[in-house]
Amino acid sequence: MRRWLPGLSMAAFLVSYCVLLLPALETQQQEPQVQRKRQRRVLKIDDAGPTYKAWLEEDVRWIISKNERAAFMQLSNDEERDQFIDAFWLRRDSTPDTIKKEFRDEHYRRIAYANEQFGANEVPGWRTDRGRVYIVYGPPDEVESHPTASDRERPPEEGGGRTHTFPYVIWRYRDLEGFGKDVQVDFVDACSCGDYRLSLDPASKDAIVWAPFAAREPGPGLHTPSVWFKDLEEVVTHKLVVSLLPFDVRTDFTKVTNATTLVQVAVQLRNRDLVFVRKDAVEGSAVNIFGRVTAMTGRVMETFEDTLQVHAPNGSLPGPADSTSLCRKTVPLRPGRYRLDLAVKDVNGDRVGTWSQGIEVP
């Protein structure tokens, strides 16, 4: 025979039991939902593919802010990711009204330089401490290098006496945004194996993690930059084939991360094909160059333009008949196949030439 608590009816007991059981049932129902939400957050970046993941973890690892990283993790398709990447560089561009991307181009130049100079023990240069500081803050104003272990006398401010030192390098910056003037950064090779590690006080080390410009967040006013050479853009857009001004093209490739390869486009013209005009006792010529890189999907990946200036020494036409002039442009691209279109125009002679070809970026 069941006993109930004094004064507690069967109905009251059931109500009390349900009230006590309800939080546990809600918790059990919520836990799978929370797990599913967490799983969805992880799957979004996992579904992005290796190129986008490498862009996040390698290309912009040292300069992307927390909020930007979180926003990128929530994107659900490649179109959104491409738009995010375009806006990411545009926000940092010092001249957003032009198609030049100074900040992005300088960033990838620094990555390439870090890979060439600072790699150690099969670690790519961009991942090393020196590479990280160089990518974020640029080249130091002064470098003091001590590549071999040695003994030295401590200065009085360090307590004096003689000590043994590992190989070390000191970088000095005269003026560093966010830190002030006369900033010194020390790197020590404690293993004598070429792996120079950052050696700073805690406050400075924390500051290295967050670059002065990394905390910039998305803002209003993003717009499409304007093109200077509208006439050459029209030639490329409508795929007009013009060979009045001949020129040669060469492409070279330098892989900087698993997501990005630097593509150097070299345009070479023969000086005898150009029109030289005398100005201020100097013979000179100018050639406008417009380029566009298009993916196989039809999406325009890169647009660039430049003016090649050729000056004749001593007021005479430059060099022998076979002399040439060269213009180089470097653009970062993901591995894949693209179409490269170029148009050039002799400013003085008004002659135009075009070039179009598929390129395979490794």
Q: What pLDDT digit, counting tens, does each position of 56-85 carry?
A: 999 999 999 999 999 999 998 999 999 999
Asked if the model's pLDDT at residue 52 lies above 60, the reply is yes
Measure the CA–CA gap between 309 and 312, rounded to whole angstroms. 10
Q: What is the predicted pLDDT for the residue at 284?
A: 86
CATH of the domain at 321: 2.60.40.3880
- Looking at the structure, do residues 252 and 331 belong to the same domain, yes or no? yes
- Cα 270 to the center of its chain, rounded Å: 34
- Looking at the structure, do residues 42 and 122 belong to the same domain, yes or no? no
- Looking at the structure, do residues 251 and 354 belong to the same domain, yes or no? yes
Helix (H) or strand (E) segment spanning residue 69 = helix 66-73
- Looking at the structure, do residues 205 and 295 belong to the same domain, yes or no? no
For 269-303, the pLDDT digits (tens) are: 998 888 888 877 778 889 999 999 999 888 899 99
DSSP letters for 112-162: HHHHHHS-BTTB-GGGSHHHHHHHHH-S-SEEEEE-S-EEEEPPGGGT-SE
For 340-357, the pLDDT digits (tens) are: 999 999 998 878 888 999
- Looking at the structure, do residues 261 and 343 belong to the same domain, yes or no? yes
Residues ≥6 apart with Cβ < 8 Å to 307? 286, 287, 288, 289, 347
Domain housing 213: 117-218
For 186-239, the pLDDT digits (tens) are: 888 877 788 888 875 433 333 333 333 333 444 444 455 677 778 778 877 777
Measure the CA–CA gap between 318 and 248, rounded to whole angstroms. 19
Asked if the model's pLDDT at residue 11 lies above 50, the reply is no
Residue 272 lies in a domain: yes
Residue 357 lies in a domain: yes
- Looking at the structure, do residues 61 and 143 belong to the same domain, yes or no? no
Q: Which of 178, 179, 177, 199 is CA-nearest to residue 188?
A: 199
Q: Given 218, 244, 269, which residue is the final one in a domain?
A: 218
Q: Which has the higher per-residue pLDDT, 165 or 353? A: 353
Measure the CA–CA gap between 244 and 241, rounded to whole angstroms. 10
Asked if the model's pLDDT at residue 256 lies above 70, the reply is yes
The partner residues of 328 in beta bridges, in order of sequence, read 266
The number of folded domains in the chain is: 3
- Looking at the structure, do residues 283 and 304 belong to the same domain, yes or no? yes
Q: Given 163, 196, 218, which residue is the final one in a domain?
A: 218
Phi and psi at 211, nearest 5°, equal: -65, 150
Residue 6 lies in a domain: no
Q: Given 91, 125, 141, which residue is the final one in a domain?
A: 91
- Looking at the structure, do residues 234 and 290 belong to the same domain, yes or no? yes
For 20-36, the pLDDT digits (tens) are: 444 444 545 555 555 55
Q: What is the predicted pLDDT for the residue at 73?
A: 92
Average pLDDT, the chain: 78
DSSP letters for 212-255: TTTT----S---PPB-S-HHHHHHHHTT---BSS--EEEEEEEE
Residue 276 lies in a domain: yes
pLDDT more than 70, % of the chain: 71
Q: Which of 205, 213, 260, 182 is CA-nearest to residue 68?
A: 213
Residue 111 lies in a domain: no
Handedness of CA 125, 126, 128, 134 (dihedral sign): positive
When pLDDT is cut at 50, 70 and 90, the band that residue 43 belongs to is very low
119-140: average pLDDT: 92
Residue 225 lies in a domain: no
Lowest mean pLDDT among 155-164, 276-285, 330-339: 155-164
When pLDDT is cut at 50, 70 and 90, the band that residue 39 belongs to is very low
Asked if the model's pLDDT at residue 320 lies above 70, the reply is no
- Looking at the structure, do residues 125 and 59 belong to the same domain, yes or no? no
Q: What is the predicted pLDDT for the residue at 224?
A: 55
- Looking at the structure, do residues 234 and 342 belong to the same domain, yes or no? yes
Residue 142 lies in a domain: yes
- Looking at the structure, do residues 240 and 353 belong to the same domain, yes or no? yes
Residue 121 lies in a domain: yes
- Looking at the structure, do residues 291 and 255 belong to the same domain, yes or no? yes
